[in-house]
Structure 1
């Protein structure tokens, strides 16, 4: 089940962030660290009504922020169309729940959420080292657009887009 996040979810979200950072760093992925994402990022997402969580039997197992806020770094990329898009940010699945369809469920939810809000275009990005997230985007129908420098990281971020059929 996916629902809007609330302040009571912050503790579990930060636990998942901590576990995810340890796991990412174990294979050299420094996309997330102690400076990003922080608790304040999720508080802001919740206050704006933009953070969604996935639950299994009452346990928070994943989350994603979905909004229309494009990073400035997206400006010079060769996007297919120039119109309002939903952007997927700060998505994670608890390591113990990986490979159980939660990531795919969150991505499908983003599609449905976009269409419900009369938007048929989605964008997202991930650190180039994050091959697992890149593979999930491709599996969910996203196309690679290009790469950008982001957050002062050494390696580029890969950017992806998806155009939804209005009949979906």
Structure 2
């Protein structure tokens, strides 16, 4: 299947947000607490793209997936309740989503593979991500792709502290 995983541009912002928002609506409809109709907001996707951290997965030229891949310190990971597998510089994946019409095709796995490629290109061996305890599909995906559970991280949202399971994958070059 011909695909590209490439930096998203301002012209991609609306579609990227729609893909993420569809996933948020689906999570909320299925009783999952990680995302809802107010989070992630459109402005967060716009910020990812503006800062060069937003990436689009295109299948046959059509944008079917989105993720933010950042390099550098993730503040919520500094207070991990647990232990990271490494102290190496790392990249973080946030807001990974696949269009509902393209689910079940291995595209989320492909996004993880491509994020690892971005890490290799920059000489970064550690990749981190977190998810909610009720996101069964993401938990399975991370467990099956070599990510290891490291502990719990916390985010402030709407004046409340939310807990996420933090994962790390340390790769070889």
Normalising by structure 1, what TM-score?
Answer: 0.90
- Shift of the alpha carbon at 1:149? 2.9
In structure 2, the residue matched to 1:165 is: 172
Which structure 2 residues correspond to residues 39-118 of structure 1 after superposition, within 5 A? Answer: 39-77=42-80, 78-118=83-123
**3-state SS of paired residue (1:75):** helix
Render the CA deviation track for 1:24-82: whole Å, top value 9, x for unaligned.
Answer: 01221121124321222122211221111111222211011111244322123311221
* In 1, Cα distance between equivalents of 2:66 and 2:123: 22
- Shift of the alpha carbon at 1:155? 6.0
4+ long deviations beyond 6 Å: none
What is the number of equivalent residue pairs in this alignment?
166
Normalising by structure 2, what TM-score?
Answer: 0.88
In structure 2, the residue matched to 1:147 is: 152
Q: Please list every run of 5 or more consecutive structure 2 residues that lacks an aligned counterpart in the other structure.
A: none
- Greater share of strand: 2
Q: Please list every run of 5 or more consecutive structure 1 residues that lacks an aligned counterpart in the other structure.
A: none
Root-mean-square deviation over aligned CA pairs: 1.7
